[in-house]
Structure 1
Amino acid sequence: MVSRRMMGTAAGLALAVVGSASLGAGPAAAQAGETTFDRIRRTKKLRSAAVIGAAPYYHKDLASGQWRGFYIDMLRMLAEELEAELELAETTWGNAVLDLQSNKIDIFFGLNPTPKRALVVDFSVPCFNNAFSFLAKSGFQAKTWDELNKPEVKIAVDTGSSQDQVVTRLLPKASVSRFKSADEATMAVQSGRVNAQCLVMMLSLAAKKKIPGMDVFVPSPVFATTSNAGFRREADKTWRDYVNTWIEFNKGLGAVRSAIVSNMDLVGITEADFPPGITL
């Protein structure tokens, strides 16, 4: 027979076990639910990622393993402001959004804020403007978008990019070839399979410097996208708001522009290479 005293003792022991388990799980539970901003402040670690072969945005010296590029400089400045250590992983333009969604990284610089991406991640204010342009072999030019919007004009784009979206919207009559990467699309121009490749200005100027016999033109009217930072979507917007404040402050100081201009030498371009009327 179980006495009341024995039942009371057992109940007390059960409560003690539950209580101790709750106390032990407290910090872990709090950390599991903490915001990105709070985690960065607690751990003093800022996690981001970079893309190999994406100069002047990102450039990795394969001999030393060191990263350069204007978004690398901006990440370092941001980490210093936060008194945090910058931790860099490698990613691709296509995987960056997935890395944010899966909480592998806290921020990724260099995303164009397309409506499709905005369904799953948040964006910062713009870091700079990037006009849409075309890379073509010398001799092929178009002054307007209407001149390109013809069935006989063959255009190359990298699938799912902002270039793909703008060509789909503005050149519905053109013959569009879609490739897995921007490099493959550039090769199509080189081989003569297409007339031109749609690229944002920074990338088209870089390609022109690398490949002999190429020209860059910007059809009228000028359409542009912006280059922004991306964030994992969370209810608390403190992290996004902080980065927005940081970007605007450093744009006002000229630090963002300085980071961009000083790294354009990675691809051999200067501001003088920009077509008349086109600015960052």
Structure 2
Amino acid sequence: MISRRSFTAFLAGSVALAALPAAAQAQSSLERIKTSGVLRIGAVADGAPYYQKSVADGSWRGFYIDICKKLAGDLGVDLEITETTWGNSVLELQADKLDVFFGLNPTPEREKVIDFSGPCFRNAFSLVVDEDEQRAAWEDFNNPETRIAVDAGSSHDSAVTRHCPDAQIVRLKSQSDATASVQAGRADAQCLVLILALTLVSKNKNIGKVVIPSPGDATTSNAGFRREEDPAWKDFVTGWIEEQRQSGFVRKAIIDNMALLGVTEEDFPEGFDI
């Protein structure tokens, strides 16, 4: 655990304001968090299991809420949660309304305007298939007889295109359209990242099961930051995340919050790894 003393030492080693010219003395995110005693994060109200806001009392839960609470606690500061959307989170980071936003994939477009931590976890590409399906490798699905539904232009689309170029790739407008295609028998499988696939199967017990085809392939979920000259805050959070991954805290937070959606640890398919 990162103590308040170690955080203070890290801060002291990261800045030397007295040696900087006046123009360079704008307060960095790391300094602002320390001096204000507040960590500002964004959260998405309907983003379960990542984030979820209670309609009844306005309280928050989700595995990124648990992770941010621990980050604030380890820093010895208060946590301030601002409701946002996945789409607006980048803009709010740029506007310095948030200190960090967890749950972004570092796409080339986003990397042009904000900075990212290392991976919080790896979200494996998986397939939702019929309960009797025995195939377990991407190459087994890579044939003209197999129809795989995806939401067009998504990371799911890219994954299937990489691994199953010979399959019939059924590109549809949205994830729900792809799900409907499987349910109607117009597709044999739907590609989704694991967290979404498990959530889908939990809500639709009759749709089938989740497999992680081999060889494993995954996208990442990362923390995003406002771009600034001093990398101290980004570097600090990146190191902290790696500690929490190694300790098993991130994995436990994910599994515990998936349970809120009816997904137990036993429901995670063989090959689950963060």
Answering whether residue 39 of structure 2 is matched by residue 46 of structure 1, we say yes
Partner of 1:179: 173
Answering whether residue 158 of structure 2 is matched by residue 165 of structure 1, we say yes
Q: 1:278 to 1:260 in 2, by over 3 A?
A: closer
Partner of 1:197: 190
Answering whether residue 103 of structure 2 is matched by residue 110 of structure 1, we say yes
Cα-to-partner distance string for 1:224-276 (whole Å, 9 max, x where unaligned): 22222122222221110110122123334333233223222111222221222
Tell me how far 1:204 sits from its aligned partner: 0.7
d(CA) in 1 for partners of 2:176, 2:81: 24
Q: 1:64 to 1:58 in 2, by over 3 A?
A: same
d(CA) in 2 for partners of 1:155, 1:225: 19
Secondary structure of 1:122's aligned partner: strand
Matched-pair contact (CA < 8 Å) for 1:150–1:175: no
1:238-277 to 2 correspondences below 5 Å: 238-277=232-271
Secondary structure of 1:194's aligned partner: coil
d(CA) in 2 for partners of 1:144, 1:251: 27
d(CA) in 2 for partners of 1:169, 1:252: 30
Tell me how far 1:151 sits from its aligned partner: 5.0
Matched-pair contact (CA < 8 Å) for 1:44–1:85: yes
Partner residue of 2:74 out of 81, 96, 99 = 81
Cα-to-partner distance string for 1:34-93 (whole Å, 9 max, x where unaligned): 222222223333222222333222122222221111110111111222333322223333
1:69-148 to 2 correspondences below 5 Å: 69-139=62-132, 142-148=135-141
Count of residue pairs brought into register by the alignment: 251
Partner of 1:230: 224
Matched-pair contact (CA < 8 Å) for 2:39–2:80: yes
d(CA) in 2 for partners of 1:34, 1:132: 40
Q: 1:265 to 1:39 in 2, by over 3 A?
A: same
Q: 1:271 to 1:170 in 2, by over 3 A?
A: same
CA RMSD in angstroms comes to 2.8
Matched-pair contact (CA < 8 Å) for 1:110–1:228: yes
Q: 1:209 to 1:147 in 2, by over 3 A?
A: same
d(CA) in 1 for partners of 2:234, 2:195: 25
Partner of 1:10: none
d(CA) in 1 for partners of 2:80, 2:268: 33
Unaligned 5+ runs, structure 2: 1-21
Letter in 1 for 2:227: R
Tell me how far 1:119 sits from its aligned partner: 3.1
TM-score (norm 1): 0.77
d(CA) in 1 for partners of 2:84, 2:92: 8
TM-score (norm 2): 0.78
Letter in 2 for 1:235: E
d(CA) in 2 for partners of 1:158, 1:38: 42
Larger Rg: 1
Partner of 1:16: none
Matched-pair contact (CA < 8 Å) for 2:150–2:169: no
Tell me how far 1:140 sits from its aligned partner: 5.4
Tell me how far 1:121 sits from its aligned partner: 2.5
